[in-house]
Structure 1
Amino acid sequence: MRRTTLATALLAGIALANATSNATATCHLIATAISDESALFWPLSIGYAQDNLHWATSSSALSACSVEPGTAQDVGTILQILGSTQTPFAVKGGGHATNPGFSSTSGVQIAMSRFSDVTYNSAAQTVDYGTGIVWDDVYSALEPFGVNIIGGRVSGVGVGGFSLGGGYSWLTNQHGLTVDNVVAFEIVLPNGQVTEVTRQSDADLFFSVLGGYNNFGIVTRITAKAYPQGQVWGGLRVILDIGDNWDAFNNATVKFQAEVTDPKAQILPSFNTLVGAPVATIIMFYDGPTPPAGIFDDFLAIPAVDSDISTRSFLSLVQSSPIASTTRAVFNTVSLMTLSPALMKAIVNETQFWTAKLALASANFISYDVEPFLTSLFTHGSIQATAYPPTRAQGLLPLNIYYAWGLELDDAFMQDAIRQSAAHLKAVAIAEGQDIADAPVYGNYAVLGTSVEDVFGDSLPRMRVTKQRVDPNNVMALAGGWKV
């Protein structure tokens, strides 16, 4: 038995060494082929470290080299070399993916950081933005013009995977998902061709990329609708689990989701355990300097240990809730139709149950984020307009579960735990009558191992036909992600 184990380990080591050697040879090919506007970095350099760094260290890997393309043409050159040598690679935008291997690799790491321009086109009322930045950069660039686009809700989230996966925003109740507001994008196809895509120029590719991530090539620039943006009201409140605070918090959340129909008003309630201490937080948002009377009163009446509520810029509100860098992390999700007192209680119970159990597995943060959008959130896009959501027949509320921990040896345990928790909460929702047994899940929250059928559903046939047309040699399968 021991000989078999040693032999297996030896063969695995040889395979890894050969793969690393092949990837290194590919790195040398890329280094000689790219223009001066791009750069390739080797291990131990600062550029290499930055290119491989992810928000969650469990999502990082040690690549053979990293490359920062500076032009779309160089992206095409790189893709052609990777395809011809069959070298594994990864594409990293903001580096916020929590699934290992989705934007990291032991092969060639492509970092999109040089695609960082943000340009407001006042005549067309659109914004062009590169895919290598975070939403803070976009909001900061647009603030002087008094306009905004549909993007992330908290600080530090990358624009690339967010925009190509769906995109839930503070402005979603008014204007839909990010994918609903994209009017064009520049994509580099696996054969090296740089092309501008609109719904009119290539309806199938436009549909497939919006929600379909990196299955079809590398997107370098996105053009999205712009909307007027003035000051907003809101911020973060922190509430301890003392007395009936959390019962009041639950009741206020259920009431808000059931009764508040103003599309300018949103909330993001969350149940957390930070280093063993239970705490609820809520980010309140109103798209205007002053909310109508009464909308947020139930939340404001609950005693808080910290409160940062004010009239402020949109950027200020987003940056009031930073996503701090962490050690190891995993997300998972459940798609819900509505919130009920019983479901909210079940979420609180899950927080408490897994806090106790995961404390033995180096857990340092547990979070259950409830996202009560209006159920009309999918009506802003036409039927089957984008790969995600694969159906717009009913609005779905994406519950986000997030665990963070310290030790690599706990990875499998934590991932298994978050799968169990999501399955339990889904069962609770189904038992109370929610028709979500086959509901699609949001890919940006879904844990590794989720089937692509669960993410893309009825969109898959159209996506696969398009995939065969634009990537017949399956070059993009050399990179990680939700592969169709």
Structure 2
Amino acid sequence: MLSTRPLLCALSLAASAYGYPGKLDDRATLGAASHFKATCHRIAATISKASEVFFPPSPQYAVDISHTYASSSEASACSVEPGSADDVSKILRIIGSTRTPFAVKGGGHTANPGFSSTRGVHISMIRFNNVTVGSGTVELGPGLTWDQVYAALDPTGVNVIGGRVPGVGVAGLTLGGGFSYKSNEYGLSVDNVVSYDLVLPNGTITSVTPNNTDLWFGLRGGMNNFGIVTKFVLKSYPQSNIWGGFMFYVPDQLDAVKNALVRYQQKQDVKASVAVVLNYASGQLTLGSFLFYDAPVPPQGLFDDFLAIPTTVQNVSTKSFTDLLLSLNQLTFGSSSNIRNYFSGVPVTQYSPAIFDAFVNETKFWGVYLASLDKNASVTVTLEPFDSGVFSHGSGSAFPPDRSQAIFPSVTGASWANASIDGIVASALRKEKATIHAIALAEGQNVSHAAVYVNYALFDTPLEDIYGQNVPRLRKIRAAIDPGDVMGLAGGFKF
């Protein structure tokens, strides 16, 4: 997993493609820059000593605006690190009154340009980093990553339903739904939220619970449409050591892995989780699996098909939850100092042999094609089967829009270095998704309206493909909460 890196340059392509103003002439550019900078200084003069504003070339400014992927970063006029909900309120009021574009960054793991970056005021929630264990709950700050959360919880014997790989932020994952290794047992992250502390677009500070029917519905999967969350309170569960890790195989074991995945889907055990990873880079296909069981030892027979396949490297063993996550730092598909990345969600209801073969073929085809344009390019696919009752643990929420059947979210991703092929990469991911979708439909899978997982959705995914029949209600909630469209000044999927 890649570490966060400072921004090296602004992204001109992102400016025109993702809802930002197109190319401006010099006078307009200077005028906008002057306006943004004035807003920054106004914020600096208004906030308390708990918060701070940074300007380029400050090292902390570089840290604040950086993301896991270079394609997601943008040069803002300043960065702001609020240290209290009251200061978040002041900042939002100033931004709303001056109509200044802004961004809110939690962990910075998004692969969508402009979703947590801006040329205006960049708000970094890094100072909201508390992990507080209560009675059956854990309070989390939105500036945390899940690595930090699990490390803090490890000595306490409790855990929460959160992210699966290093570097993923608490805020983005939770506001987008939140698939977890423990989702088969307890549902998505949104199904385990007890309350949110929220600063509304007008600056009002409030707590959102199930009593706040509309906001509760909207925040659970609705991303950054309703204000800025300053605290998540999640249910906690006892946590023992777990069993799991990754296994890598030579490519001639494709059929064995396919058969293991197909057979595994018939074994319903809510403590188990499996993923199969395909990666094409440097002219070759890499094949791996990830196994998880929420106990120190899994039952006999559950993972035997995977364990029987000869490996090139593996680290499956009994370990702590934190050690499991840290072990994934060894996986560095497509890593480079200026890595760019897009994700695309490809929902299916089953990984049949034909669907598996299609994912393999698409990974190879697009891997070869993109490598012909950029030698640093790679394509990665993760296949993620879940229990049939994974959506039964919670009530109605923005995401998923339909809880009547399980959806396997599936993520395809591409990494590259040459910014000139950004559009080509996005097009490749769209075509790959369309190919898999057509095969799933031909098989009779009920995916005509299967929701794309928010945190896997490519930047131009239609709202209806993510939120389905919930879109009209979410638009109504957004209009009532934010009539001045303050949150529309920030990037992301907007209702």
TM-score with structure 2 setting the length = 0.93
Query: CA shift at 1:319, angstroms?
Result: 1.7
TM alignment of 1:153-172, pairs within 5 A: 153-172=164-183
- Consecutive unaligned residues of structure 1, counting only runs of 5 or more, are 1-7
* Partner residue, 1:4: none
Residues 130, 25 of structure 1: alpha-carbon distance in 2 compared, 3 angstrom cutoff: same
Paired with 1:118 and 1:252, the residues of 2 have a C-alpha distance of 39
Per-residue CA distance 1:21-78 (angstroms, 9 max, x = gap): 1101100100100100001000100110000100010000000000000000100000
Per-residue CA distance 1:351-392 (angstroms, 9 max, x = gap): 11112111122243211100001121101112x2x1100111
* Partner residue, 1:261: 268
Paired with 1:31 and 1:311, the residues of 2 have a C-alpha distance of 49
Q: Helix, strand or coil for the counterpart of 1:163? A: helix
Query: CA shift at 1:477, angstroms?
Result: 0.1
Shift >4 Å, 4+ stretches: 8-11, 323-326
8 A contact 1:91–1:103 mirrored in 2: yes
Query: CA shift at 1:11, angstroms?
Result: 4.9
TM alignment of 1:111-130, pairs within 5 A: 111-122=124-135, 125-130=136-141
Paired with 1:217 and 1:181, the residues of 2 have a C-alpha distance of 20
* Partner residue, 1:368: 381
Paired with 1:442 and 1:16, the residues of 2 have a C-alpha distance of 36
Query: Between Structure 1 and Structure 2, how many residues are aligned?
Result: 469
Query: CA shift at 1:9, angstroms?
Result: 9.4
Q: Does 1:222 align with 2:232?
A: yes
TM alignment of 1:290-301, pairs within 5 A: 290-301=297-308
* Partner residue, 2:355: 343
Paired with 1:463 and 1:110, the residues of 2 have a C-alpha distance of 25
Query: CA shift at 1:300, angstroms?
Result: 1.1
Paired with 2:250 and 2:53, the residues of 1 have a C-alpha distance of 49
Paired with 1:294 and 1:452, the residues of 2 have a C-alpha distance of 41
Q: Helix, strand or coil for the counterpart of 1:294? A: coil
Q: Does 1:413 align with 2:420?
A: no
Q: Does 1:283 align with 2:295?
A: no
Amino acid at match of 1:17: L
Paired with 2:373 and 2:45, the residues of 1 have a C-alpha distance of 46
* Partner residue, 1:247: 255
Amino acid at match of 2:260: A
Paired with 1:167 and 1:92, the residues of 2 have a C-alpha distance of 17
Residues 334, 119 of structure 1: alpha-carbon distance in 2 compared, 3 angstrom cutoff: same
Paired with 2:405 and 2:316, the residues of 1 have a C-alpha distance of 33
TM alignment of 1:119-198, pairs within 5 A: 119-122=132-135, 125-198=136-209
Indicate which of 305, 309, 314 corresponds to 1:302: 309
8 A contact 1:355–1:366 mirrored in 2: yes
Query: CA shift at 1:203, angstroms?
Result: 1.1
Q: Helix, strand or coil for the counterpart of 1:320? A: helix
Per-residue CA distance 1:109-132 (angstroms, 9 max, x = gap): 00000000000102xx00100000
Query: CA shift at 1:277, angstroms?
Result: 2.3
Paired with 1:49 and 1:10, the residues of 2 have a C-alpha distance of 24
Per-residue CA distance 1:64-102 (angstroms, 9 max, x = gap): 000000000100000000000000000000000101000
8 A contact 2:281–2:367 mirrored in 1: no
Query: CA shift at 1:217, angstroms?
Result: 0.2
Query: CA shift at 1:15, angstroms?
Result: 2.5
Per-residue CA distance 1:265-309 (angstroms, 9 max, x = gap): 111111112332211111100110111111111111111111101
Residues 293, 197 of structure 1: alpha-carbon distance in 2 compared, 3 angstrom cutoff: same
Query: CA shift at 1:18, angstroms?
Result: 1.8
Indicate which of 313, 318, 332 corresponds to 2:325: 318
- Consecutive unaligned residues of structure 2, counting only runs of 5 or more, are 1-20
- Identical residues among aligned pairs (%): 48
Paired with 1:367 and 1:276, the residues of 2 have a C-alpha distance of 13
Q: Helix, strand or coil for the counterpart of 1:402? A: strand
Indicate which of 461, 467, 471 corresponds to 1:460: 471
After alignment, is 35-44 or 348-357 more displaced? 348-357
Paired with 1:206 and 1:420, the residues of 2 have a C-alpha distance of 35
Indicate which of 343, 365, 375 corresponds to 1:331: 343
8 A contact 2:140–2:233 mirrored in 1: yes
Indicate which of 211, 228, 233 corresponds to 2:221: 211
Query: CA shift at 1:470, angstroms?
Result: 1.6
Q: Does 1:30 align with 2:66?
A: no
After alignment, is 80-89 or 319-328 more displaced? 319-328
8 A contact 1:139–1:315 mirrored in 2: yes
TM-score with structure 1 setting the length = 0.95
Query: CA shift at 1:14, angstroms?
Result: 3.0
Query: CA shift at 1:12, angstroms?
Result: 3.5
Indicate which of 461, 469, 483 corresponds to 2:480: 469
Paired with 1:288 and 1:305, the residues of 2 have a C-alpha distance of 26
Paired with 1:62 and 1:276, the residues of 2 have a C-alpha distance of 34
Residues 67, 252 of structure 1: alpha-carbon distance in 2 compared, 3 angstrom cutoff: same
Residues 30, 394 of structure 1: alpha-carbon distance in 2 compared, 3 angstrom cutoff: same
Paired with 1:13 and 1:404, the residues of 2 have a C-alpha distance of 33
Indicate which of 55, 77, 100 corresponds to 2:113: 100
Paired with 1:11 and 1:47, the residues of 2 have a C-alpha distance of 28
Q: Helix, strand or coil for the counterpart of 1:377? A: coil
After alignment, is 460-469 or 52-61 more displaced? 460-469
Paired with 1:291 and 1:14, the residues of 2 have a C-alpha distance of 65
Q: Does 1:41 align with 2:64?
A: no
Paired with 1:187 and 1:334, the residues of 2 have a C-alpha distance of 31
Paired with 2:79 and 2:486, the residues of 1 have a C-alpha distance of 18
Per-residue CA distance 1:399-429 (angstroms, 9 max, x = gap): 1001000111111111111111111111111
8 A contact 2:56–2:78 mirrored in 1: yes
CA RMSD of aligned residues (A): 1.4
Paired with 2:27 and 2:301, the residues of 1 have a C-alpha distance of 66
